[in-house]
Amino acid sequence: MLGGTFRSSFPLSASHERSSDPRRGFCNRLQKTFSDMPAVKHEAVSILEVARLAGVSSATVSRVLAGQRRHIAPETRARVLAAVAKLDYTPNALARSLSTRRFPVLAAILHDIADPYFGEMTRGVESVTAEHDHLVMVCNWLRDPHRLIRYLKLLRSMRVAGVLFCGSGLVSDDPSFPEVARLVVLLRRDGTRLLALSAQAIEMPVLTIDNRKAARLAVDHLVGRGHRRIGHLAGPPMLMTARLRAEGYADAMRAHGLDPRPEWLEWCGVDPGETYEGGLRLLRRAPELTAIFATDDQTALAVMTAAGHLGLDVPAALSVVGIDDVPRLPSRPALTTVAIPMRRLGEEGARLILRHAGTRNGVKPTVRYVPVRLIERDTVAGPRDQTSEAGRLGTP
C-alpha cells in the first residue's frame, strides 16, 4: 500500500538474506571499496593559484592562455604554461563567456538529426568547431514552428556565438513567420552571428544550393531520356526549399515546351508514411506519368516503394530522380539524383561564421551558391510505350 511498509510474501531471515543474495554481497564490497578510497579534493584549480605558482598576475595568465604574445617575455610565458601543466588547470568557459558576453557554442537548427542529410551536414560543422574550441548544440525543431520559436528564445538567452540554420526556413505566408523573423532580428541585434545553409525567407547570410537549378537538372535529365509526362512529389508547402524546387520543376517543364499539369504535382509531408501515401496518390491520380522528380532522396525512395505496390517496375515502367545523394541511403536499383555537398556546406558554413564571430557586423547578408551535379545511376530509363501502357492502365 502507498505510504505504508512493504512486506514480502516470502519472509526470509536476516542471515538468509545476507548469505543467499549474491547482489547484496557485491554491493557491500563495492561500498567498502569506495569508502576506503582517499578523499578527493573537489575544488577546481583557480587562475589565482596558477598565477601564484608562476609568480605573475592573473591578468598575465589570461593573456598567455588567450595566445597573446605582446608584452609577455618568453620566460614568463614558459613559467605560466609550466604552472598550468603542473596544476592541470583548465580555463572556465562559463567565466570567460561572462567577460566576452558570448558563449563558445554554435547552434545548429535543423529539422531532424535522424535525417541522414542533416547528420552529414552536422558532421561537417563539428569537424570545424572542434578545431576552434567551440561546441555544437543541435536543435531539432521537427518542422514545428512553435518548437522553433522556443529554441530561438532559448538561444538568445544563452548568448551563443552563432546560429546555423541548416534546414529550410518557413515561407513568409506561414502564420508563425512574423514571430520567427522578429526573434532572428533580435539575435542579430544582440551580436549573435547568423548563417543559413538552406533557403530562408528572412534576410540573413545564406550559403546553400540553387534549388531551382537543382530541380532543372533533374527535369532536364528526364527530358533528355525522352520523358514528357513528368510528375513531381514535393515536400511540405510551408518550407522554402520545397516551394523553390517545385518552382524549378515547373520552370524546367515550360522551358522544354511541356505543360506541368496541376494533377502532376503532389505535396506531402516528410515522414516515410506521408511520402509513401503521397507517391500512391500521385501515381493513382496520374497513371500516364512515365517519370517522377522527387523533392529529395528519401521521398524518391518512397515513390519507388509506392510504384512497387502498384506493380510498376523502376525504371522499366517509371523513372525516378531525387535530390541530395545522401550517404548510407541505399536503394535497389541505385537512385539517380542531384548531389548536394552536405558535409562541405557544414564545413564552409562553420568556418564562415567563426571567422566573423569577433567582428562588429558579422557575415554580410549575401547569398552564395555551392555547385550541384547530377549523378546518373539506375533509376532512369527511356519512357515506356505510351499507347500500350495507357491501355493497360485504362487511360485514354
Over residues 66-101, the pLDDT tens digits come to 778 888 999 999 999 999 899 888 876 655 555 555
Where do the structural domains in the chain lie, given as residue ranges?
47-91, 100-209+344-371, 211-340+374-393
**What is the predicted pLDDT for the residue at 10?**
36
CATH (one of 3.40.50.620, 3.30.479.20, 1.10.260.40, 3.40.50.10860) for 47-91: 1.10.260.40
Q: Which three cell numbers stand for residue 238?
A: 510551408
DSSP bridge pairs for 369:
208
pLDDT tens column, 359-385: 555 566 688 999 999 999 999 999 976
* Distance in angstroms (rounded) separating the CA atoms of residues 255 and 272: 32
211-340+374-393 shares the fold of 100-209+344-371: yes
Residues in the chain: 396
Q: Average of pLDDT values for 172-188?
A: 96
Confirm if 351 and 124 have CB atoms less than 8 A apart. Answer: no
Q: Is residue 387's pLDDT more than 50?
A: no
- Helix 272-285 / helix 297-309 crossing angle, nearest 10 deg: 60
Q: Is residue 164's pLDDT more than 50?
A: yes
The residue to which cell 506521408 is assigned:
274
Angle made by CA atoms 242, 260, 300, in degrees to the nearest 5: 45
* Distance in angstroms (rounded) separating the CA atoms of residues 286 and 279: 11
Pick from 270, 323, 268, 233: nearest CA to 144:
270
Q: How far lies 226's CA from each of 68, 198, 254, 292, in Å?
A: 65, 32, 15, 13
**b/e per residue 15-32 (b: at least 16 CB within 10 A):** eeeeeeeeeeeeeeeeee
Q: Average of pLDDT values for 95-118?
A: 81
**What is the predicted pLDDT for the residue at 141?**
96
How high is the mean pLDDT of the chain? 86
CATH class of 211-340+374-393: alpha beta
Three-class SS of the chain: CCCCCCCCCCCCCHHHHHHHCHHHHHHHHHHHHHHHCCCCCCCCCCHHHHHHHHCCCHHHHHHHHCCCCCCCCHHHHHHHHHHHHHHCCCCCHHHHHHHHCCEEEEEEEECCCCCHHHHHHHHHHHHHHHHHCCEEEEEECCCCHHHHHHHHHHHHHHCEEEEEECCCCECCCCCCHHHHHHHHHHHHHCCCEEEECCCCCCCCCEEECCHHHHHHHHHHHHHHCCCCCEEEEECCCCEHHHHHHHHHHHHHHHHCCCCCCHHHEEECCCCHHHHHHHHHHHHHHCCCCCEEEECCHHHHHHHHHHHHHCCCCCCCCCEEEEEECCCCCCCCCCCEEEECCHHHHHHHHHHHHHHCCCCCCCCCCCEEECCCEEECCCCCCCCCCHHHHHHHHCCC
DSSP bridge pairs for 232:
265, 293
Tell me the pLDDT band of 396, cut-offs 50, 70 and 90.
very low
Q: Which three cell numbers stand for residue 82?
A: 609550466
Q: In sequence order, what are the residues at sequence separation of 6 or more whose Cβ sits closer than 8 angstroms to the Cβ of residue 378?
A: 315, 333, 334, 335, 336
pLDDT tens column, 303-315: 999 999 999 999 9
Q: Is residue 350's pLDDT more than 50?
A: yes
Amino acid at 244: L
pLDDT tens column, 120-158: 999 999 999 999 889 999 999 999 999 999 999 999 998
* Domain 100-209+344-371 bears CATH identifier 3.40.50.1950: no
